Amino acid sequence: MNSRIAVVPGSFDPPTLGHLDVIRRAARLYDELHVLVVHNPGKEAMLPIAQRMSLLEQSIADAGVEGSIIVGSWSMGLLVDYARDVNAGVLVKGIRSQVDVAYESPMAIVNRHLADIETVFLLPDPAHAMVSSSLVRQVASLGGDVSPFVPPSVAAFLDTGARGI
């Protein structure tokens, strides 16, 4: 597996400014980046996977993130199987707090046992430390303004959806 190729996996339901920040930082570090929308059976989804992919593609383009970035999806099987398929040697996760460390560490260790793949934790801009997709989903579902927390294309999409336009 190639340590210059990385996967940034997540639910991205919806993509947030915190996600975009991690993607931008990872794109600077690796030659090829797979931003992977993964179906998480433990979470009830708000947006279909194809919609999340399209919002990610738009947000990455709008933000002018440079690099070789592929937006993909994965809903069948282990994350490490996707990593193997694309020859990626690294998984990248954003860490906002000790809560994220506790959530991510067991997954990183399991993935290393499964496929000898390393997980690299990146620290996003503290400005995004409190932003989570679940909070955005809640605010959006109650008709609140999510624009401080998500890329403009995501805010526009959620705003239009909330008004039923």
Backbone angles phi, psi at 86, to 5 degrees: -100, 5
Side chain identity, residue 107: M
Cβ-Cβ contacts under 8 Å for 89 (sequence gap 6 or more):
1, 2, 3, 4, 5, 6, 83, 117, 118
State which of residues 5, 7, 9, 124 lies at the interface with ligand PNS (CB under 6 A): 9
Cα 6 to Cα 53, 70, 88, 91: the distances in Å are 17, 10, 5, 6
Q: Which of these is catalytic: 25, 84, 96, 112?
A: 96
Which span (8-16, 51-59, 65-73, 148-156) binds ligand PNS, by CB under 6 A? 8-16
Q: Which of these is catalytic: 4, 28, 43, 113?
A: 43
Provide the mask over 40-59, with x wherever binding to ligand PNS is found by CB under 6 A and - wherever it is not.
x--x----------------
Binding site for ligand PNS (CB under 6 A): 9-11, 38, 40, 43, 78-79, 107, 110-111
Active site residues: 19, 43, 96, 133
